[in-house]
Structure 1
Amino acid sequence: MIHVAAAVIDDGAGNIFLAKRPDDKHQGGLWEFPGGKVEPGESSEVALARELDEEIGIKVNQVESLIQIPYHYSDKSVFLDVFRVTGFSGEAWGREGQEVRWVPLNELDSYPFPAANKPILNAVLLPDKLLITKAYSSVSGCISGTESAINAFSLTWFMLRQKQLSEEGYAHWVRTMRAASQLNNRRLILSCSVELANSLKGEALHLTSQRLMAMSNREEFSGRFLGASCHSLEELNKAQLMQCDYVTLSPISPTKSHPSTPVLGWKAASNIIAQAALPVFLLGGMNQSDLMQAKSIGAQGIAGINAWCS
């Protein structure tokens, strides 16, 4: 397996640095996050600094781990050790003659990437804190509660999970929340059937583990982001087979809602994440204070209800 260190470089203004692979190389003509092979005896961080100096002429000052991706092409296997570069000096350019450019976050989806880079793209676009709505008795209460949590904790994505509603009722809540101006600039993730999500033209859908296991083709969902609830390695593997863009893994710790449910714990979660080629949110008993520990074991971040909803 080829060990590669790759970088997501942000210019501080919301633009991400991309480089185009030469036509004569593997996956040539596609865009990628810059980096290169980790040499024997070299740490990923040292390799990344060396490669970015050689390829695009910058000196790395500060990095943080973003995601690790084991990926298997038909002709080779790669292990991508991906870092977010949070500080650098110099001006990035194509030192090896490659085409490069700074791309706004909201335009990244229009660029063709190698398949192994798709999880990196998702990790860049996804937040590190995912709000799941608690059960509300009215849509107005849900809007108010969601807005309060979003403002208090600087949240950008939220999942509308309201198991008590019929499909007709859920659709009404979705349309009402979409019309709420205070939520317009936040990403709404639907939690319903694939059929209902498609009829609502949802751009993001989160599947229950039951719906995930029943799914036979990723193309059943017409939106951009597909997520799923996972509680085991078997379900994670199914999510990867369905080309999900992320998963939640739960329960990590005991929860108020399911106090008798056996928990995975941090060690088991770490072992499962190590086999994941997609972003993973930890769920179940999570609090804001758990975010850094979640990231330290390779998770995208945390998801929760009680962590942010009062």
Structure 2
Amino acid sequence: MPSPKRSIHVVAAVITDARGRILLNRRTESRDMAGLWEFPGGKREPGETSEQALVRELHEELGIEAEVGEWIMDVPQRYPDKDLTLEVRHVRSWKGAPRGREGQAITWVTPDKLARYSMPPADLPVVAALRQPDCYLITPAPDIDEGGLQRWHGQLQQAVASGQQRIQLRLPAEHPQRQGVIEQAVRAHRRGVQWLLNRDIELARTLGVGVHLGSEQLQSLQERPLPPGQLVA
């Protein structure tokens, strides 16, 4: 009989400094997947909480006393000989100066450059999550009168100017000027904004933007409704 698969729980840290950079470790030659970059951390031992395991691992690897912050995500991975769960936590505060205590290289990377680094499969969903905006704007429906539309477009322009990178245009289907309002907004702010249209797959495909699906749409779809490069939420 084949040996039962092992279950391994790994806890990793997204360590961010005051400039928003993220610390990466490089795996040494003595480890599997040598040379790849990863978020620092390690296996949770029996009897340890995730926080205890991460504090221990970061002290061993980097020589810091970390204050473990909020949960970011879990990433399940299946291998021929083991099932791995990567639990990712945020670390924004620590004591000491990070250094590679186990002979590994370390580097600080801005989030927009994380994708340039070769990483193990379990770390890639974390990179994708970190490159997303922390939040995005969902617009209310504009009033139908001309003054209401002007106010709505003015507020949208202010939101873009303030740095909103992702905006969901949520206008009810019965709004008499819905398509024109959406097209005007997208054309006016095409650069620097990731657009999501609420539920309207066809218009999103036509305009080359993203879509936010309703639950009933998710249940009826058999495949991704938009080409790669157009967001689907």
> Which bracket does the TM-score occupy, shorter chain normalised?
0.7 to 0.9
Report whether the alignment pairs 1:178 with 2:190.
yes
Match of 1:212 in 2: 218
- 1:41 maps to a residue whose letter is G
Match of 1:69 in 2: 74
Match of 1:58 in 2: 64
Q: Secondary structure at the match of 1:101?
A: strand
RMSD: 3.4
What is the deviation of 1:52? Answer: 1.1
Report whether the alignment pairs 1:189 with 2:196.
yes
CA gap of 1:172–1:151, structure 2 versus 1, over 3 A, is closer
CA distance in 2, matches of 1:196, 1:17: 41
Q: Secondary structure at the match of 1:226?
A: coil
- 2:71 maps to a residue whose letter is L
Report whether the alignment pairs 1:132 with 2:138.
yes
**Which digits, 9 at most, give the CA deviation of each residue in 1:182-223, with x for residues without a partner?**
xx4x55434355564455443x54323344334444594322
CA distance in 1, matches of 2:51, 2:219: 38
**Which digits, 9 at most, give the CA deviation of each residue in 1:88-113, with x for residues without a partner?**
23332322233321111111233343
CA contact (8 A) 1:32 1:117 kept: yes
CA distance in 2, matches of 1:199, 1:56: 50
Match of 2:14 in 1: 8
CA gap of 1:18–1:205, structure 2 versus 1, over 3 A, is farther
What is the deviation of 1:135? Answer: 1.0
CA distance in 2, matches of 1:120, 1:173: 32
Q: Secondary structure at the match of 2:60?
A: helix
CA contact (8 A) 1:68 1:79 kept: no
Map 1:1-310; keep pairs closer than 5 Å: 1-22=7-28, 25-60=31-66, 62-75=67-80, 76-136=82-142, 137=144, 140-146=150-156, 157-164=166-173, 170-178=182-190, 184=192, 187-191=194-198, 193-194=200-201, 196-202=203-209, 204-218=210-224, 220-223=226-229, 225-227=231-233
Unaligned runs of 5+ in 1: 228-310
CA distance in 2, matches of 1:22, 1:87: 26
Q: Secondary structure at the match of 2:189?
A: helix
CA contact (8 A) 1:205 1:223 kept: no
What is the deviation of 1:71? Answer: 0.5
How high is the sequence identity, in percent, across the aligned residues? Answer: 36
Computing the radius of gyration from Cα coordinates, the structure with the larger value is 2
Match of 2:4 in 1: none
**Which range moved further: 114-123 or 50-59?**
114-123
- 1:191 maps to a residue whose letter is N
Unaligned runs of 5+ in 2: 1-6
CA distance in 1, matches of 2:34, 2:117: 14
CA distance in 2, matches of 1:117, 1:56: 19
CA distance in 1, matches of 2:190, 2:170: 15
For this pair of structures, how many residues does the alignment match?
219
- 1:170 maps to a residue whose letter is I
Q: Secondary structure at the match of 1:7?
A: strand
CA contact (8 A) 2:55 2:68 kept: no
CA distance in 2, matches of 1:155, 1:5: 32
